[in-house]
Structure 1
C-alpha cells in the first residue's frame, strides 16, 4: 500500500470511530498521520503535503447557504489551538503536535483583527458586536455604536445609536434562529446577538444603577426585545437573571431580579401567543428527550449562573456538544433553514484564571461540538464558521522534545537560573508567584498535575487579561472562500449574510 493511502486510511479511520449515538468520542476531534517512524522518510512529508493539496482542489461551493452555524470559542487564541492539538493527541498515545482539531480541517481560513473603536485590545462585548452585527464599537457595550459611551443609558435610548445584526437578518429571511452557550445566556457574547446595551453587565435589573433602569436589562431584552423574543432555541446558563430574588427555583436557588417579574413564564406565554409550541427545561434528560416534532421553541436554562466546566459537568447538566445537537434537530424543522450561534465560553474563564489545563479541555469540547454538527448537516447547503472573539496572553515555548507533556515543564537546559519552567505560561494573571532572594519561584513546590493549577504569570493581575493579536477564522460550506485572508472582525457577518441571502447589504441573491 502506498504512503498516500496509509495517510488517507489513517484520516478516515479517525473520522469514523465512535460515530454512533449523540455522545461524541474525543478521538473524533482529531485527525492524525501514520506512526511517527514514517517522519524520517522524506516521502512521508511529500505525500502528506500532496494529500493536503488534493483535499483543497475541490470546486468552490457557490450555492446559497440554507443553514448557517456560527461557532465562537471565547478567548480561543491561535496559541490555544496549537496547545489543544498536543493535549488531545497525547491523551491517545500520539506525540500530539501532528494532530488536527475538527474545524482545522476546514478548507478556508482567515485572520480577523479584533481591536475596538476606543481600545486596542477587545473584550467580549465589543468583539461580539463586531462579528454579530457588522459594526465596531466601544469596549463594554453591546449593539450600540461608538457614539455611546460605556454606561451611558441616555445615549443608548437614542435609536440612531442602535442597530441589529445577523440574528435579526436571519429572522427576517424566514429562518429559525438559535443560541447555545455554556455561559449565562445574558452574558456579553450571546447578548451581542440580540441586545442593545451601554453596559454588558446590565444582565438583570438588579445589576443596573437607578439612573439606568429606564434602559431594559439584557434578560428582559431576550424575552421582550424585537430580536430576542423571536429566537426559537435558547440553551445555556443564567437562570437567576429571569426571576425574583425573593423566590427560589426548582433547584432551590434564588433569582437575581428585583422587579418581581418572572421572565421564564412570560417567555412561554409570549411564544404561545405568537402561535408557537414552546417548552422550558432545566435538566439534561428533559432536553435530550424533547421530540423536535412537538416543540418549535425551547428555552433551556440549566444553571443559575454559568454552566460548569466540561471536565466536572454533573450528569444532570448537558454538555456543549449535546446542546448543539439538540438545537440543530429542532431548528432543522424549518423549511427555510436556520441560523445557529454557539459559544464555548469557558475557554475564556479558564484563561482569566491562568488555568491552562481547563482552557485546553474546553477547547477540545468546542471541537467536539463542531464535529457533532458536521455529522448532522448537509455541508453542500450549510455554512459553518468557527472563530474566536479575542486572544489571551498564554504562550507556548521552551524548545522541548517532540511529544513533551504540553501541560508539563520544558527542558532545563534553556533556563539560565537552572530552575524549571512550564511549556505554557501567561504574560500576566493570578498565576504570578513572588520571588525570594532574587530567585524565581521554584516549580518543584507546585502540583502541576492539578487540573486547577494556575500556570505561571510574569505580571501579577487579579485576572489574566485579553491579548490584542488576530484570531483565526475557519469556514466550510457555501461561500466559505469568502473568509480567506486578513480582515476586520466586523466583516464576518456581512460575508455570512452574503452567502445566506439575508440582511440589508450585498448578497448572492441581489
Structure 2
C-alpha cells in the first residue's frame, strides 16, 4: 500500500511484457524507425501560426512526477510525444536563479534582462524609476513581430493577465509588481512617468493590438471605489475603469469586441462575429484547476483548455495567421507553496490544453512549442516502486527511523510540516497526504 513503509514485493504497475529483452529491443527499433520517417518527411513549410505554451515553473521533475500521477505511461504527458526536445538556459543577467519576469523577456524577445524586470534590457535594474521609461531600453517581443507581419495575436493565462509571464508579451517595466498605478506609487516612483502594466495592455500598441486576452486580474483594471461583477474591489487609485476604456477604444475603431467575465459569457461568444475578446475570469488569479471541481466552480470559471480552444477559434479567422501565448501559471504558484498535488494537477491540465491545440490545428501550418521558464526545487526521494502513489511516503524509513515523502522541496513553507523546534524531524505516519493542499517536506524554511 502506498501509505505504508513496507517495500512492495511486486510493482503495482507490473507489466509482464517489460520483463522480456525483446520488448525493449522492439520498442527501441520502433522509435528509431519513427524518427527516420520524420527525417524523410521533414516539414519545410513556413509556419503560418505559432502557439507558444509556457508551463510556469514546470521543471523536468514536474513533468516526470505528472507522468506518474497520470499512470506512469510515457504517453501520458502529451507533449512528451513531440518529435524534438531541447534545453534552454534561463538565468537572468544579474541572478543565477531567474524569475518569471526576466525569463519572459528572454524567451519572448531573445534578450536577457535583470531579475524582476519585463520587456527591457539589462541596462534597467529592478525598481529603477527612470530607465524603463526610456524606449531605447525596450525589447521587442514575438507578439510585436507577429503584429508587424499582419498576424493576429493573443494570450491566455491562468494568472492575472498583468502577471509577469503574460506581461512579457506586451509590457515594458522595471518592476513586475507594477500591475496597477498604486503599486508604482508605493515603490516611490511616479505612476505618470512609469505607466502601469494594466494601462500598457489597454493603451500601448502591442497590448491594444491583441485580439485575445484571457485570464484573471480584474482588480488591476478598476478603481478601488468600484467593485467587479463578483463584488471584489479594484486596486487602482486613478478613478479609471480600464475595461470600459478597452471597450470604448474598440468602438472608436469600429471593430466587433466582447468583454466576458465568466464561463457562461465565454460560451455565448459568437466567434464569427468577434474580432477582439477580453475575458477576465477572476479578481486575481484563476482558481487551481483541481479546485474548479472541488469548489463547484466549473460552471463559472473556464479551464485552461477551454480558454485555449476559444482563443484558437477566434484567431483562426486571420488569413495571415496568428501568434498565441498560453501559460499554465499555477504550476509555479503551487510549487512556491510546496503543494505538489496542486502543481501536478495543473501540469496535467496544461498537457490537455496542448493536446487540444494540436487536435484543433494542422502540423502543416501551425508550429506548437512547449516550454518552461524556470525550474523549482521539488525532487524525488528514495526508491519508490513504479506503482507507488507519487504523493505518498517513500517505501522505507530514513536513517532516523521516520517516514518521508516521495516528493519534497529544498526550501519553502513545507518546512513547518517537516521539522519540530524541539524534536527534530516530524513523524509523517499520520499526515493527510490525500489532501490536495498538503504542503510537502522542505529542508530550508522560506515563505516561498
Are 1:74 and 2:53 matched, yes or no?
A: no
| CA spacing shift, 1:35–1:428, aligned 2, 3 Å | closer
Structure 2 counterpart SS, 1:384? strand
Q: Give how far 1:241 is off.
A: 0.6
Tell me the residue number matched to 1:358.
342
Q: How far apart are 1:283 and its partner, in Å? A: 1.1
User: 1:131-187 CA deviation, whole Å, 9 max, x = no partner?
Assistant: 011110000000111101111121112221112210000001111101000000000
2:101 counterpart residue number:
125
Partner residue of 2:371 out of 387, 405, 421: 387
SS in 2 for 1:358: helix
1:294-333 residue pairs with structure 2 within 5 A? 294-313=273-292, 314=297, 315-333=299-317
Q: Is the aligned partner of 1:160 residue 2:136?
A: yes
1:438 shift after superposition: 5.4
Deviation of 1:98 after TM superposition, in Å, equals 4.2
Q: Does 2:439 match 1:459? A: no
Q: CA RMSD in A?
A: 1.4
Taking structure 1 as reference, are residues 125 and 38 closer, same or farther at Cα in structure 2, changes over 3 Å only?
same
SS at match of 2:88: strand
Shift in Å at residue 111 of structure 1?
Answer: 0.2
- For residues 29-68 of structure 1, what are the structure 2 equivalents within 5 Å? 36-57=15-36, 58=38, 59-68=41-50
Q: 1:421 is matched with which residue?
A: 404
SS at structure 2 position matched to 1:293 = helix
Offset of residue 62 of structure 1: 1.3
CA distance, structure 2, for counterparts of residue 155 and residue 233 of structure 1: 30
Q: 1 CA distance for matches of 2:421 and 2:201?
A: 52
Q: 1:86 aligned to 64, 68, 71, which one?
A: 68
How many residues matched? 423
| CA drift at 1:35 | 7.6
Alignment of 1:194-233 (within 5 A): 194-209=170-185, 210-213=188-191, 214-233=193-212
Query: Residue 362 of structure 2 aligns with which residue?
Result: 378
- What's the CA shift string for 1:78-131, capped at 9, x where partnerless? 000000000011xxxxxx254441111000000011101000001000000000
Q: SS of the counterpart of 1:447?
A: coil
1:442 corresponds to which of 390, 402, 427: 427
Q: Supply the distance in 1 between the matched residues of 2:387 and 2:377 (Cα, whole angstroms).
A: 23
Distance 2:396 2:143 in 1: 51
- Mark the runs of 5 or more structure 2 residues left unpaired by the alignment: 1-12
Assess if the C-alpha contact under 8 Å between 1:183 and 1:237 holds in 2.
yes
1:55 CA drift (Å)? 2.2
Using the TM superposition, give the Cα deviation of residue 437 of structure 1 relative to its aligned residue in structure 2, in angstroms.
5.5
Structure 2 counterpart SS, 1:236: strand
Contact 1:97 1:403 survives alignment (8 Å): no
Aligned to 1:228, what secondary structure does the other structure show?
A: helix
CA distance in 2, matches of 1:455, 1:308: 20
TM-score (norm 2): 0.92
Partners of 1:86 and 1:99 within 8 A in 2: no
Q: Is the Cα–Cα contact under 8 Å of residues 74 and 80 in structure 2 kept in the other structure?
A: no
CA displacement at 1:212 relative to structure 2: 2.9
1:401-438 per-residue CA deviation (whole Å, 9 max, x = no partner) reads 2211111011115x211211111000001001333655
Distance 2:420 2:219 in 1: 42
